[in-house]
Structure 1
């Protein structure tokens, strides 16, 4: 579409100049404006062409194309014209013998879909990979070969600025304080990493990357937001896509999206089932120290994980068009999964001279079951004035996760076998209510206001018994209640080439953290204002610059708060901290974008300051296993964290058959603070966490069309090393390959993927605690994987430009400027 747009601009500009030269510059021009929309939905049509012709003369005199809002503004000489309005796969709209003497608005021009063209034409031009908006970047993922037969996690790991580590944790520009939204709402899953592995990649339409969110969005997420937009069907009639996949290590998957759309309603559904094996491995080599840092002994620990997960994800919804200006959408989503994880741990013990002593073997056999049900409703009312609308949303869900494990423990010195049983039963309910109101006024101005109420409750019942005896040190019921009421308002204005968006959000938080087993009740109440401001200046039609500011919050949840945790390792234990306070971030972002014919360059410089940031501290617990100290890792609040960095993204198409996308991110992270605690000997210990670390990451994607129309895509990424106060993480390189071939007259596609070609995607850590331990560890969550998928489409061209659906709610109130 970019190339079509460029050609149209060149041709129309040439004709306009030629006409100007013929007629002479003495006659003043007039300005003709208007807006082009889809007839049924009234949604704007970007890149629609408007051509002015002299009556009875087919030669164009002037013309132009519409912007993302469907608007056009064209200068012509006064006269009588035939006007032609066109858009691909739509019927042409013609205005004959229009006498234009002064500045004139043609008003709202509606185009109707041409059913014959829709059934016959396959448009090979792909939708723009990235759309740059005032407060976010939107990535359309439909042409990404790497995600065929994959999941949402695979999609996110292929998006610039976003990284998914070996355990499924998501970071944005190196910052893990990221809020994940699905269709503009917080995910209702207890374990978001596992939930994202259940949703098929084909169910995703696009991903919005919001590094500096405006006041319209939930203030949660110090590092930014990721909004995953799911498909709901856009094309008239019955159409759909089905994908079957298999691979090694064993993966089997079947998914399908189906929708039926008429003038009055749209039915849509996504159904998927997958059976995945994800073998993993890890090892930790530890040298334990005396107080004078001499060697006391060694423990070398190895792990083998055999993970299997079977999951179903399905949704069904109906979008009902009550009239031309009102729609009501209701949907039900159901997810269910069960998994088995065998964690086989061998600990080899050596004395101070590294002479072998004995081996301990711990086997953790874990079974997990998860079930989630969500009902969502959305009501949109559009008023007469374009862009004036009211939307009301509701989401109501429940989520149950149950994990049972039997841990056997034995060593070579004795025939005695110990048994530990653990049970972790988590139940979460979440209710969300939201209302947004948008009112455009004047020329280029817009007012927004809204309310959001987010009410959730999580009950975690964790129990451990040792050989049939309850272990009260690890048994507890934690109740977490969160009530957040928010109000926001925004005002946007555009004056010529300058755009501004000002916002203010107020959130009232009421948090309860109750440890029922120990009768420890804790309530935290706080309310805060979150301002935001965005400024953009269009240097030219090919370049623009921007600056933005926002204030964010990161609330501790889940395992960060629960002081009772699992026992997969008996010497390295993670313990939550129920006294954690929220962290607050002030973020500033400077951006610049420049477009050439074959190259797009986008860069940003960002500065974040976080107060009470979360950090992880390791210390001795005071307990020992056969003389080896048990080390505890726990999250704490540190005083201040400063994060500065810059990133740039390049989209380059040197030839029609070759596309390159590159991303580079560099950041500097500085923490300032001291951690003081009382150890098991009642001594007051103070650890200085002042630390400065730099790191960088880069990603390169190459997509080449080979002979016989075979698409070949290569992704390569590198995450650089990074220091922290108690050690460092080492750099990791990874690469993926994918090949794709259309068959069955473009109705089918075969794709072959190799994930982690070099089997190198690992988390590699070095930890150094003076007087306690030095350790080196590597962890690989998923080993190299091969997969083959087959996609079949019916009544749906492969790369057609999908029409805007009639009343999509995500990004409501986006102020484009």
Structure 2
């Protein structure tokens, strides 16, 4: 009863506060002043334009607001006579003098034109926040972040709220790697996503959008959400650009350029960069082995030392053509070429049951890697009017190759491996948007994705005559074909302070997984409906409440399905599972956002229910590695002195239920100090089991039921010191998490950077340190029936980087003034709430 009374009291207080906020001085009810702000030439809406309402002939602002992505604004004031000023950076402001406001007033369309005088000056302009919090997504502006200067896209993502990047480059969102990564709204076609993100320079990125609960307009894939990486596209008039040079330790060099030339009809843009990167890493695994009676039989300590060197070139060139004032056609070619050398040395130290040293061996893997990615993209937009009625068409054709040749030397064995992959992909998409009435919008579209991957994997051993012989148990040729056709429709509308968006997507999937060497052919066909629903309530101009639901899907890809054995270690191996099924997720999200003058606060609670979730399980293979390094399979009754070989593979576990809540907080206490932070806590419950048959023909059942709590936090501080020196500091911590077969331990990391503008603000010098305390190590404990182990691995040790940026004909921090004609997200953009 006390709880009910307390709840009623809260509702009463909230209602009283809300009613008070809707009244002006003296208790007068407030009225609304609305309108839209556009760029005069292109008729594109201007987001973040400011509206100030003042008393006549007075500079003190009585009320104000900013425009949303559609250029719309709404400001509440008491009835009266006011001066109204509409402003946007680098545009001529517009003033409405002595405007009588007696009731709700619509100012209509306000067109702003560029200020030529400001365009010709190179001055420091107001910067957007590093992180912008919106109702349905978070936007991370890369240009404001000094820490990523000279880095890669992986460094960028590691600073984005809600996103984490582990030491191996794997990306997760809200603690889950079940996500979809897009580049300019299109799925990345890279074969090795983690490696591709490390090769793409941060300087090529404009911003990153994090969409935790996408609408039906987006691909259904990505159970935990979508990360959209938006590349830079120059939009400034005339010839302008940026040059960036960087160097660092361990040995790292980089040189890149972003150049743009814009005329009335054509906009040419290009990005090119070369980088040489050295990543040094280390790791270890300490294992204790048991017999069936749980008595210790032996110990094995592994130490690992890695060094990866990459030479990479990245280029992008394109042109946007204004065919008519309402029709725009953009074509671009993206090209990446990377080569590298990998050195991976593992030392094994053997001990008996009493921890007495018995011998040592080693395994050295030297690999040459290479990849080449070519993609052509085309985007056509037809605007039927300036109210959002439009048709867009997108086409993407790509070819990606990824080759790796390794020589594995172990005492006394010698192996070679060959891994050649070729992937071809075609994407086609059409989207139609039709505004209906006041605040209504209808959307529909089609998307086709057609891919073909061929993977040749070969492991060779030396026979007794010293001849190289292919190992048929470890070699194979994989053919993977994936054809997906999708249709979607959604309708959004607004009623008073409520906004609604309802959608439905249908996807038909046809996948072939064929092992050509042993004539093993697998075909998976399925089609699914993916509904989505979003509701938001505008409490006031500065606060909103939202609730959403969507059904998502995750298809197994890449290393998950490839049955080729990862032969980097002959004791702990990884093997994909070509019989994996997709997992389906129901996502629920409730969010609240509140803005003050210096603070933006966003919180959300979420629940995800996933069927057939992917999970990694570890089990003994029945093989052992003898003290001289040879892998053998004991026969029944035969005793072999050696170390058991443990295999890790993905399976469809059963069900995973995840509940969590998240806070994102932006605070600017002073003009010289900006803070943003993110905290996420979640509980994960998994249910399921795994069965396998051991070498004795006995069926072993592993109970994989597990429930665990975990959390992660990140805080970013940017301070302007004397002499206009900027200092940025970022710290993050991933909490410990229990797993079905052990636990992942906590991880802490800190990055810092200093920056100074020089040459009359035309250039910037930045120095950053990644992983200041050299503490970002992936650590875990594993407990199996016959082995207990502790592992840690550090993909990249502490790094130092120095960069120099020079801007010509382009002001520092200047916002693109001719707004993009398309949605920045390319074929999968949009998804805003109707307004």
Work out the CA distance in 1 between the residues paired with 2:455 and 2:327.
42
Secondary structure class of the residue paired with 1:708:
helix
- 490-499 or 595-604, which deviates more: 595-604
The aligned counterpart of 2:646 is 631
Cα distance change, pair 472–109 in 1 and its aligned pair in 2 (3 A): same
Secondary structure class of the residue paired with 1:195:
helix
Match of 2:461 among 444, 453, 466: 466
Cα distance change, pair 743–82 in 1 and its aligned pair in 2 (3 A): closer
Give how far 1:801 is off.
2.8
Secondary structure class of the residue paired with 1:807:
coil
The aligned counterpart of 2:537 is 537
The aligned counterpart of 1:138 is 139
State whether residues 370 and 401 of structure 1, in contact with CA within 8 Å, keep that contact through their aligned partners in structure 2.
yes
Equivalence map 1:669-708=2 (5 Å): 669-708=684-723
Work out the CA distance in 2 between the residues paired with 1:726 and 1:719.
19
For residues 742-762 of structure 1, what are the alpha-carbon distances to aligned partners after superposition, in whole Å with 9 as ceiling and x for unaligned? 111111111111111111101
The aligned counterpart of 2:803 is 789
The aligned counterpart of 1:5 is none
Secondary structure class of the residue paired with 2:410:
strand
Equivalence map 1:358-437=2 (5 Å): 358-384=359-385, 386-410=387-411, 417-437=412-432
Cα distance change, pair 721–74 in 1 and its aligned pair in 2 (3 A): closer
Work out the CA distance in 1 between the residues paired with 2:808 and 2:235.
14
Cα distance change, pair 52–277 in 1 and its aligned pair in 2 (3 A): closer
The aligned counterpart of 2:557 is 557
Work out the CA distance in 2 between the residues paired with 1:777 and 1:80.
71
The aligned counterpart of 1:451 is 446
The aligned counterpart of 1:812 is 830
Q: How many residues align?
A: 788
Work out the CA distance in 2 between the residues paired with 1:764 and 1:126.
39
Give how far 1:656 is off.
1.7
Give how far 1:114 is off.
1.7
Work out the CA distance in 2 between the residues paired with 1:555 and 1:98.
58
For residues 645-689 of structure 1, what are the alpha-carbon distances to aligned partners after superposition, in whole Å with 9 as ceiling and x for unaligned? 111111122222112212111111111111122222111111111
Work out the CA distance in 1 between the residues paired with 2:691 and 2:100.
81
Give how far 1:75 is off.
8.4
Give how far 1:107 is off.
4.2
State whether residues 53 and 64 of structure 2, in contact with CA within 8 Å, keep that contact through their aligned partners in structure 1.
no
Equivalence map 1:460-539=2 (5 Å): 460-467=455-462, 468-539=468-539
- 31-40 or 222-231, which deviates more: 31-40
The answer to whether the aligner puts 1:653 opposite 2:653 as a matched pair is: no
The answer to whether the aligner puts 1:600 opposite 2:595 as a matched pair is: no
Work out the CA distance in 2 between the residues paired with 1:197 and 1:469.
35
Cα distance change, pair 276–88 in 1 and its aligned pair in 2 (3 A): closer
Secondary structure class of the residue paired with 1:213:
coil
The aligned counterpart of 1:439 is 434
The aligned counterpart of 2:742 is 727
Greater relative CO, 1 or 2 (CA 8 Å, sep 6+): 2
State whether residues 134 and 816 of structure 1, in contact with CA within 8 Å, keep that contact through their aligned partners in structure 2.
no
Give how far 1:111 is off.
2.1
Work out the CA distance in 2 between the residues paired with 1:120 and 1:692.
59
The aligned counterpart of 1:642 is 657
Cα distance change, pair 299–377 in 1 and its aligned pair in 2 (3 A): same
- 36-45 or 321-330, which deviates more: 36-45
Work out the CA distance in 2 between the residues paired with 1:474 and 1:61.
73
The aligned counterpart of 1:4 is none
Work out the CA distance in 1 between the residues paired with 2:149 and 2:762.
15
State whether residues 49 and 65 of structure 1, in contact with CA within 8 Å, keep that contact through their aligned partners in structure 2.
yes
Secondary structure class of the residue paired with 1:202:
helix
The aligned counterpart of 1:7 is none
For residues 42-61 of structure 1, what are the alpha-carbon distances to aligned partners after superposition, in whole Å with 9 as ceiling and x for unaligned? 11123546689999x79999
Secondary structure class of the residue paired with 1:673:
strand
Equivalence map 1:35-46=2 (5 Å): 35-46=36-47
For residues 130-188 of structure 1, what are the alpha-carbon distances to aligned partners after superposition, in whole Å with 9 as ceiling and x for unaligned? 33334322222211111111111111000111000000000001001111000000001
The aligned counterpart of 2:9 is none
Work out the CA distance in 1 between the residues paired with 2:212 and 2:93.
40
Give how far 1:84 is off.
6.5
Cα distance change, pair 765–29 in 1 and its aligned pair in 2 (3 A): closer
- 78-87 or 185-194, which deviates more: 78-87
State whether residues 307 and 342 of structure 1, in contact with CA within 8 Å, keep that contact through their aligned partners in structure 2.
yes
Cα distance change, pair 238–350 in 1 and its aligned pair in 2 (3 A): same
Work out the CA distance in 2 between the residues paired with 1:473 and 1:686.
25
Equivalence map 1:19-38=2 (5 Å): 34-38=35-39
Work out the CA distance in 1 between the residues paired with 2:712 and 2:30.
52
Equivalence map 1:109-148=2 (5 Å): 109-120=110-121, 122-148=123-149
For residues 447-473 of structure 1, what are the alpha-carbon distances to aligned partners after superposition, in whole Å with 9 as ceiling and x for unaligned? 111111111111110001101011000
Give how far 1:103 is off.
7.8
Cα distance change, pair 85–572 in 1 and its aligned pair in 2 (3 A): closer
State whether residues 735 and 757 of structure 1, in contact with CA within 8 Å, keep that contact through their aligned partners in structure 2.
yes
Work out the CA distance in 2 between the residues paired with 1:29 and 1:555.
52
Secondary structure class of the residue paired with 1:278:
strand
Secondary structure class of the residue paired with 1:279:
strand
Cα distance change, pair 61–223 in 1 and its aligned pair in 2 (3 A): closer
State whether residues 697 and 719 of structure 1, in contact with CA within 8 Å, keep that contact through their aligned partners in structure 2.
yes
State whether residues 750 and 788 of structure 1, in contact with CA within 8 Å, keep that contact through their aligned partners in structure 2.
yes
The aligned counterpart of 1:716 is 731
State whether residues 659 and 682 of structure 2, in contact with CA within 8 Å, keep that contact through their aligned partners in structure 1.
yes
State whether residues 439 and 834 of structure 2, in contact with CA within 8 Å, keep that contact through their aligned partners in structure 1.
no
State whether residues 135 and 214 of structure 1, in contact with CA within 8 Å, keep that contact through their aligned partners in structure 2.
no
State whether residues 42 and 806 of structure 1, in contact with CA within 8 Å, keep that contact through their aligned partners in structure 2.
no
Work out the CA distance in 2 between the residues paired with 1:709 and 1:35.
37
The aligned counterpart of 2:20 is none
- 115-124 or 703-712, which deviates more: 115-124
State whether residues 717 and 728 of structure 2, in contact with CA within 8 Å, keep that contact through their aligned partners in structure 1.
yes
Give how far 1:813 is off.
5.3
Work out the CA distance in 2 between the residues paired with 1:80 and 1:299.
82
The aligned counterpart of 1:667 is 682
Work out the CA distance in 2 between the residues paired with 1:338 and 1:401.
10
Give how far 1:802 is off.
2.6
Secondary structure class of the residue paired with 2:398:
strand
Q: Using structure 1 for the length normalisation, give the TM-score.
A: 0.92
State whether residues 502 and 533 of structure 1, in contact with CA within 8 Å, keep that contact through their aligned partners in structure 2.
yes
Work out the CA distance in 1 between the residues paired with 2:165 and 2:313.
22
For the aligned residue pairs, the C-alpha RMSD in angstroms reads: 2.6
State whether residues 716 and 730 of structure 2, in contact with CA within 8 Å, keep that contact through their aligned partners in structure 1.
yes
Give how far 1:385 is off.
5.0
Secondary structure class of the residue paired with 1:745:
coil
For residues 465-519 of structure 1, what are the alpha-carbon distances to aligned partners after superposition, in whole Å with 9 as ceiling and x for unaligned? 1010110001100011111101111111111211111111100000000000010
State whether residues 440 and 834 of structure 2, in contact with CA within 8 Å, keep that contact through their aligned partners in structure 1.
no
Cα distance change, pair 613–167 in 1 and its aligned pair in 2 (3 A): same
Cα distance change, pair 471–653 in 1 and its aligned pair in 2 (3 A): same
Cα distance change, pair 148–70 in 1 and its aligned pair in 2 (3 A): same
Equivalence map 1:545-584=2 (5 Å): 545-584=545-584
Cα distance change, pair 459–316 in 1 and its aligned pair in 2 (3 A): same
Listed as ranges, the gaps of 5+ residues in structure 2 are: 1-22, 463-467, 627-641
Cα distance change, pair 129–683 in 1 and its aligned pair in 2 (3 A): same
Cα distance change, pair 746–295 in 1 and its aligned pair in 2 (3 A): same
Equivalence map 1:101-116=2 (5 Å): 107-116=108-117
Secondary structure class of the residue paired with 1:194:
helix
The aligned counterpart of 1:167 is 168
Give how far 1:97 is off.
10
Work out the CA distance in 2 between the residues paired with 1:95 and 1:701.
40
Give how far 1:129 is off.
3.2
